[in-house]
């Protein structure tokens, strides 16, 4: 190996060492418990939907654990096969038809094949290490959802997914949040959302709210038509999006 090649290799090794110093801190490569609690579980609008979400997340992690375990076992088998292949290459007889001798070509070929096998084993070992980390993280997330489920059940037992009252509560709360958030931010209601809400059961509070708002608009329209001095019809819905400029206009008007 030439001097320039040795210098390049030394620089490469030094770079890898600096990278490994950071990687040795072993950052967690999974969702934080904060994320799982507030952006997965607490995103659900009702108690029952939180419980259902926990079960779905546990099932997903279980599938991941099984898949990773199978892949890990396969990689370990591949590593053992690599060791067998390595022993055959350096043994008294080679499966490639190369007998140990002083022949330079045969010796060189054995060295190359041996380096290939060692690189393959190194790659497999790295895969095994990464799979073991993925398995650990999947198990940690699964246990988090298991404990969250147990904690939630103390406040109320889980009901069947098709429990009518639970489904009513879920869809009412889900659509109510979407509708009220849009209104709060100054957006006109999405027509498709309103149509969906109107397809809910008649006793759904959010449906009653929408029906009441529509009736109010109709009453104002009738009053407008019967008035001698028609005025602009106002609605419970905002006329323009809520922006900094509209807020400043209202503030100056007051």
Nearest C-alpha neighbor of 194 from the set 174, 175, 173, 212: 175
Q: Token pair for residue 134?
A: 């993925």
Angstrom distance (rounded) from CA 182 to CA 37: 24
Residue 244 above 50 pLDDT? no
Q: What is the mean pLDDT of residues 180-197?
A: 92
Q: Report residue 23's pLDDT band, with 50, 70 and 90 as the boundaries.
A: confident
Residue 85 above 60 pLDDT? yes
Q: What is the mean pLDDT of residues 56-74?
A: 98
Predicted pLDDT of residue 192: 95
What is the full DSSP assignment across 172-197? HHHHHHHHHHHHHTTPPPPHHHHHHH
Angle, helices 191-198/205-226, rounded to nearest 10 degrees? 110
Residue 236 above 90 pLDDT? no
Angstrom distance (rounded) from CA 177 to CA 46: 11
Residue 241 above 50 pLDDT? no
Give the residue extent of every domain in the chain. Answer: 3-153, 164-243
Q: What is the mean pLDDT of residues 172-189?
A: 92
- pTM score, whole prediction: 0.76
Angstrom distance (rounded) from CA 224 to CA 234: 10
Q: Backbone dihedral region of 26: left (phi > 0), alpha (psi from -120 to 50 degrees) or beta?
A: left
User: How high does pLDDT run on average in the chain?
Assistant: 86
Q: Token pair for residue 35?
A: 């994320």
Residue 97 above 70 pLDDT? no
Predicted pLDDT of residue 3: 64
Q: Is 97 helix (H, G, I), strand (E, B) or coil?
A: coil
């Amino acid at each position: 190996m030439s001097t320039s090649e040795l210098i390049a290799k030394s620089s490469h090794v030094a770079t890898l060492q600096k990278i490994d110093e950071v990687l040795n801190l072993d950052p967690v490569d999974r969702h934080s418990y904060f994320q799982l609690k507030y952006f997965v579980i607490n995103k659900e609008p009702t108690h029952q939907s939180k419980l259902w979400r926990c079960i779905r997340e546990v099932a997903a992690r279980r599938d991941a654990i099984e898949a990773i375990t199978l892949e890990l076992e396969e990689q370990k088998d591949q590593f053992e096969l690599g060791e067998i292949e390595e022993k055959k290459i350096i043994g008294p007889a080679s499966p490639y038809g190369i007998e140990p001798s002083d022949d330079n070509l045969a010796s060189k070929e054995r060295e190359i094949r041996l380096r290939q096998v060692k690189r393959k084993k190194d790659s497999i070992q790295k895969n095994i290490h990464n799979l073991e980390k993925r398995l650990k993280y999947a198990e940690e997330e699964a246990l988090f959802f298991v404990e969250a489920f147990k904690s939630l059940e103390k406040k109320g037992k889980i009901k069947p997914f098709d429990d009518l009252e639970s489904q009513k509560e879920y869809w009412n709360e889900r659509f109510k949040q979407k509708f009220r958030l849009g209104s709060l931010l100054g957006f006109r209601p999405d027509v498709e959302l309103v149509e969906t809400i109107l397809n809910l059961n008649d006793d759904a509070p959010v449906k009653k709210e929408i029906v009441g708002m529509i009736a109010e608009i109709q009453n104002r329209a009738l009053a407008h038509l019967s008035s001698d001095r028609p005025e602009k019809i106002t609605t419970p819905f905002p006329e323009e999006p809520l922006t900094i400029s509209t807020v400043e206009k209202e503030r100056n008007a007051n």
